Amino acid sequence: MPLKTIGTIAIPDAMGSEFDHAAFDASSRRVFIAHTARDCIEVIDHDAGKHLATLPGFPGVRIDLLGA
């Protein structure tokens, strides 16, 4: 089944960036996205469909999809 775009969430200062890794936390309903070009993590509210925060200070960041 092909993927279908159902919306877009704006991330500040991310124009022209690409994102490689993400993880969804079911308990908080948050999506955490590794923004490697800016050494930060972007936090998205899944249910509201909006950007919540940019967490700086994560050089070489990646999201561990197999983590505990």
> Which pLDDT belongs to residue 44?
97
47 domain-assigned: yes
Instruction: Print the domain residue range for 41.
Output: 21-56
- On whether residue 4 sits in a domain, the answer given is no
Q: pTM value?
A: 0.80
Provide the domain count of the chain. Answer: 1
Q: For 30-52, how does the pLDDT look when each residue is reduced to its tens digit (9 = 90+)?
A: 999 988 888 899 999 999 999 99
In a domain, 5, yes or no: no
pLDDT at position 65, please? 52
The verdict on residue 1 lying in a domain is no
| Any domain includes 7 | no
Query: What size, in residues, is the chain?
Result: 68
Answer yes or no: is 45 within a domain: yes
Asked, for residue 28, whether it belongs to a domain, the answer is: yes
Kindly state whether residue 39 falls inside one of the protein's structural domains.
yes
The predicted pLDDT at position 26 comes to 96
Please report the pLDDT score of residue 68 as a whole number.
45
Q: DSSP code of 33?
A: E
| Cα 55 off chain centre by | 11
Angstrom distance (rounded) from CA 14 to CA 56 = 13
How far apart CA 42 and CA 32 sit, in angstroms, is 6
Number of Cβ atoms within 10 Å of the Cβ of 33: 22
Under 8 Å between Cβ of 52 and 45: yes
